[in-house]
Amino acid sequence: MIGVIGGSGFEKFEDFETVELLSTETPFGNASSGFKKVRVEGTEFLFISRHGDHHELLPSEINYRANIYALKKMGVSSIISFSAVGSLQKEFAPGDMVTPFQYIDRTKSLRKSTFLGEGLIGHVSLAKPICEVMGNHLKKISPKYDFKTHFGQTYVCIEGPYFSTKAESNTYRQMDAQIIGMSNFPEYALAREAGLPYLPCCFVTDYDCWDDSIPHVTVEEVIKVMKFNNQKAFSVLKDLLKIKNLSEGSLAYAGGLQSGLFMPPEAIPADKKYWVDVLMG
């Protein structure tokens, strides 16, 4: 079972057939609204709208831990993530898809970013934060698309809800980031803690604000481009669903809490034992 997380512009896809609405209750509070099992061309998978069914959550208000836990508890084996991003380089144009292999976190500690803590001690490697196995599968089929695709770039995640200042935008360019967004952290990190391969499919909507010769990002422009990106994302999703053993061999399965706990199992706090077993299952 694959889990799909839809971000801004990807809260719903017209051709989804809803099979079952699922509970959003978790030990970490409620997951985003609209969590459900859906079917596309005969294949069932789980879908959760990152910002809620009606886009009611700012990036910093998303309960990332609850979303990842809910997917894991319901038995997903991997996650495909769709997001809207800005571009920090001219070669990544609005309408392009970028699959970053690396991340820079520039959020401000407002988000619950780990399952660890409060007596649960561990350290999890994020040297390779996404599932490159899944990324390479997507790269092989990408020449078929009538839009440009890019693989291996770096995504810088900012807190939001503001877009960057020009100085910040240029600083991120100097850090060798190629795209900018507000929602992939801590999602990819929590997926790794839960032992779930994570594939980000990021669709460019704008050029941020680093170049005065290019119109600076606005909500109006972002929404306009999002409408075209939705169908592109749906075509990518349908192709990924057809790939057997999409995440087979992913290093995520042996990573996360399974190898990162820095304590013997018997020392896990009793009030955390149930959900730790789920995440390590």
DSSP state of 213: T
**Pairing mode, strands 97-106 and 149-158:** parallel
Cα three-residue angle 177-182-187, rounded to 5 degrees: 95
**Pairing mode, strands 2-6 and 179-181:** unpaired
Pick from 200, 43, 37: nearest CA to 134: 200
**Confidence at 192, pLDDT banded by 50, 70, 90:** very high
Can you give the pLDDT at residue 250? 97
pLDDT over 90 at 276, yes or no: yes
The answer to whether the bond into 264 is cis (omega within 30° of 0) is: no
pLDDT over 90 at 221, yes or no: no
Can you give the pLDDT at residue 206? 94
Hey, what domains does the chain have and what are their CATH numbers? 2-275 (3.40.50.1580)
pLDDT over 90 at 272, yes or no: yes
Q: What's the whole-number mean pLDDT along residues 140-152? A: 97
Catalytic residue, from 53, 105, 206, 277: name it: 206
Bridge partners for 18 per DSSP: 38
Catalytic residue, from 53, 208, 271, 277: name it: 208
Q: Is 96 a catalytic residue?
A: no
By the 10 Å C-beta count (0-12 exposed, 13-18 middle, 19+ buried), 179 is classed as: buried
Q: How far apart are CA 59 and CA 232, in angstroms?
A: 23
Residue 124, both tokens: 């999890």
Q: Is 208 a catalytic residue?
A: yes
